[in-house]
Amino acid sequence: MQVDKTTLADLSIFHNEEEQSVFHHLNYTQTNGGREYLRQILGRPLDDIKDIFDTQQTLQQLMEISAQWPVTVTNGTIMMIEKYYEYPINSFPKQPNVFNAFTYKFINKHDFSLIRYSVEHAYDFTKGLQQIVDILHEKPLSRQLATWISRMNMLLSKPMIQDLIQEDKKALTSVDVLTYGGFILYNFKNAAFELIDIYSRLDAYMSLALSCKKYSFCFPSIKEIKEPHIKAKGLHHLLLEIPVSYDIELSVNRNFLFLTGANMAGKSTFIKAVGISVYLAHLGMGVPAAEMEMSYFDGLLSNIQVVDNIVKGESFFFNEVQRIKNTIEKISDGKNWLILIDELFKGTNQQDAVKCSITVIEGLRKMQNALFVLSTHLYEIGEDLRKYSNIQFHYFETSVEDDQLLFSYQLKEGISNDRLGYLILRKEGVVALLEKL
């Protein structure tokens, strides 16, 4: 699925303040390598529906065994193994015995301690990986999981590694330390780094599996059909601690959702909730919803946080226009697209915004290969659009009691005409401050 940097930023897949990102919310990795692979996974939605299903299967299978996951493989363990290959250790006997092992330990106390420490970490690492292999090797696995487990099993099958796994690491003699230390250093380097890489991938996918389990995500049904379609129940924004859920359905005959409501009523949150869920689905990830089914989408584009460009001398409105132009050009390819637009044409005056918005909406709604969710503060244009049967109208209700704003965050059918800007200005004391000037 095609996305661009603007869409990734709009949906907060990654964020400069990491705690506000989807990445942070899904990050349960235990290793540096796992964290980097997780970042790669979240930045690259899949292009093949078979890969999506395979990833779904991978995560579901990892969810089943998450409680059995070994605790001996840690970031510190992996870092110690990597450091072992970098440290300039004095050469030691290739065929250790009691005498030369004692001599080496006496003369090279620091190096011997490093070798012992590294062997103990290698023991923890290989034993943990062997536990993963033993848990999964007889199960029917996803394609990618089967590949990793098969490769791990082969790399761990070396007799010296199998002997190490059977040892009591606290009872290792000096001869054992130099024997295993020499094999790991001189005969296992490539295998060790490959195993670390495989485990990093597993760590990243286990992070996603744990997220699905913790947040009770559902795995959406995705169909490779010509007509775009989304249907979800209990959809919500995953970054909210106490989210409000929505039901939504968009199809070729009702492909345009016209959304209104006051500021802070929930329009932007709803739009991002839809976008994030569709994006996660195309990673093979579970989604924050009770149920969800959709078509495969070839692309996802958003127009949420458009900014001006002082360096190029481009105004906010100009960049809004360019974003819409680029969107039209991209989605004219006949493929399935989801388009998210929040507060169309904020950068111009009311009269221009009305005319431009009607023109754009009347044009976009004719594109049956795309689904649109568009919010606007220009509620008055809604009545002119009611003649189009493929446009559905929803709003977020706001009420006022004793000068207090009440937001239900519930999605309702119809068009809102709430104008609460002045009330908010007065409620926050700005009007009073201005009157005192």
**Tens-place pLDDT, residues 124-140:** 999 999 999 999 988 89
Contact of 184 with 124, CB cutoff 8 Å? no
Q: Quick check: 384 pLDDT over 70?
A: yes
pLDDT band at 308 (very low <50, low <70, confident <90, very high): very low
How many whole angstroms from its chain centre is CA 150? 27
For range 227-245, the mean pLDDT:
94
Q: What pLDDT shows up at residue 423?
A: 64
| CATH 3.40.50.300 applies to domain 221-435 | yes
Does 265 or 224 have the greater pLDDT score? 224
User: Amino acid identity, residue 46?
Assistant: L
Q: What pLDDT shows up at residue 111?
A: 94
Q: What pLDDT shows up at residue 189?
A: 97
Q: What pLDDT shows up at residue 311?
A: 38
Q: What pLDDT shows up at residue 298?
A: 96
Tell me the average pLDDT of the chain.
Answer: 91
pLDDT band at 418 (very low <50, low <70, confident <90, very high): low
Q: What pLDDT shows up at residue 306?
A: 60
Domain range summary for the chain, segments of one domain joined by +: 31-214, 221-435
For range 249-270, the mean pLDDT:
90
Q: Quick check: 307 pLDDT over 60?
A: no
Q: What is the pTM of this model?
A: 0.92
pLDDT tens for 95-128 read 999 999 999 999 999 999 999 999 999 999 999 9
3-state secondary structure the chain: CECCHHHHHHCCCCCCCHHHCHHHHHCCCCCHHHHHHHHHHHHCCCCCHHHHHHHHHHHHHHHHHHHHCCCCCCHHHHHHHHHHCCCCCCCCCCCCCHHHHHHHHHHCHHHHHHHHHHHHHHHHHHHHHHHHHHHHCCCCCCHHHHHHHHHHHHHHCCHHHHHHHHCCHHHCCHHHHHHHHHHHHHHCHHHHHHHHHHHHHHHHHHHHHHHHHHCCCECCEEECCCCCCEEEEEECCCCCCCCCCEEEEEECCECEEEEEECCCCCHHHHHHHHHHHHHHHCCCCCECCCEEEEECCCEEEEECCCCCECCCCECHHHHHHHHHHHHHHHHCCCCCEEEEECCCCCCCCHHHHHHHHHHHHHHHCCCCCEEEEEECCCHHHHHHHCCCCCEEEEEEEEEEECCEEEEEEEEEECCCCCCCHHHHHHHCCHHHHHHCC
pLDDT band at 310 (very low <50, low <70, confident <90, very high): very low
Beta bridge partners of 1: none
Q: Which fold has domain 31-214?
A: MutS, DNA mismatch repair protein; Chain A, domain 3 (1.10.1420)
Alpha-carbon distances of 254 from 128, 145, 317, 390, 391, rounded to whole Å: 52, 39, 29, 4, 6
Please provide the distance, in angstroms rounded to a whole number, between the alpha carbons at the two ends of the chain: 55
Q: Quick check: 313 pLDDT over 50?
A: no
pLDDT tens for 209-233 read 999 999 999 999 999 899 999 999 9
Q: Quick check: 314 pLDDT over 70?
A: no
CA-CA distance, 179 to 160, in Å (whole number)?
9
Alpha-carbon distances of 329 from 100, 289, 301, 334, 424, rounded to whole Å: 74, 32, 12, 11, 39
Strand 256-261's sheet: what is its strand order?
299-303, 337-341, 370-375, 256-261, 391-401, 404-413
Range scoring the smallest mean pLDDT among 48-57, 200-209, 315-324, 330-339: 315-324
pLDDT band at 10 (very low <50, low <70, confident <90, very high): very high
Range scoring the smallest mean pLDDT among 185-189, 214-218, 259-263, 332-336: 259-263
Q: What pLDDT shows up at residue 312?
A: 45
Does 39 or 19 have the greater pLDDT score? 39
